[in-house]
A and B are shown apart, each in its own frame.
Chain A
Amino acid sequence: DAGITQSPRHKVTETGTPVTLRCHQTENHRYMYWYRQDPGHGLRLIHYSYGVKDTDKGEVSDGYSVSRSKTEDFLLTLESATSSQTSVYFCAISESRIQYFGPGTRLTVT
């Protein structure tokens, strides 16, 4: 599992509330990613990071922000959650061009 953990693993929240998901890695990988997985859309890139404080947007970044103040942690924030952000969120790292994924966070916005 390349030492990747995600927290929380499950969360139910109300529309309009802020939510932060955490991805933690133990092996000092430079590249970290956030994807979301939805039926009919597959996995889509939200944001990624190529170093501390270095981030870039993916194809579905609207409504999301990220931060990486330490190598080991990559945070994904939904500033004001909407029902369209109900999804399974996966964090990943890249090691020697191979991507390894965390176990996922199932987020439900009611």
Chain B
Amino acid sequence: KQEVTQIPAALSVPEGENLVLNCSFTDSAIYNLQWFRQDPGKGLTSLLLIQSSQREQTSGRLNASLDKSSGRSTLYIAASQPGDSATYLCAPPYTGRRALTFGSGTRLQVQP
């Protein structure tokens, strides 16, 4: 069974800092991994999908990396802004099903 751990659970930084959010998973037989953002009381917004054949995927100030062999993914946020404040969720595939398994997320607060 896929299990996902996200570290840190919470993070508070001043505006402008570069950040790294970490995700580890137990079942490395994955074909991709998805990162989401969730604002309080809202649904999930897809940020990036990184394929197992890729090492990195970039979208604007966001960069995700994937190391299947070590069971790790990182989300790098450059030049953080207050609007980046949200919970970030890592989601590799569910073992044996075409669905996702979620970590508990990293709650990010960017101070102006």
Contact = CB atoms under 8 A, between A and B. Distances in A.
How would you classify the secondary structure of chain B's contact residues: helix, strand, loop or mixed?
Answer: loop
A44 B100 CA distance: 9
A97 B32 contact: yes
B99 A33 contact: yes
Interface string A55-98: 01011000000000000000000000000000000101010011
B98 interface: yes
Interface residues of A, number: 25
A94 B97 contact: no
Interface string B7-43: 0000000000000000000000001101010000011
A88 B46 CA distance: 18
Contact of B102 (A42, A98, A104): A42
Interface residues of B, number: 24
A contacts with B: majority SS: strand
A27 to B, nearest CB: 15
Counting from the closest, the 3 A-B pairs by CB-CB distance are A43-B102, A101-B44, A42-B102
Interface of A: 31, 33, 35, 40-45, 48, 50, 56, 58-59, 90, 92, 94, 97-104
Interface of B: 1, 4, 31-32, 34, 36, 42-46, 49, 89, 91, 94, 97-105
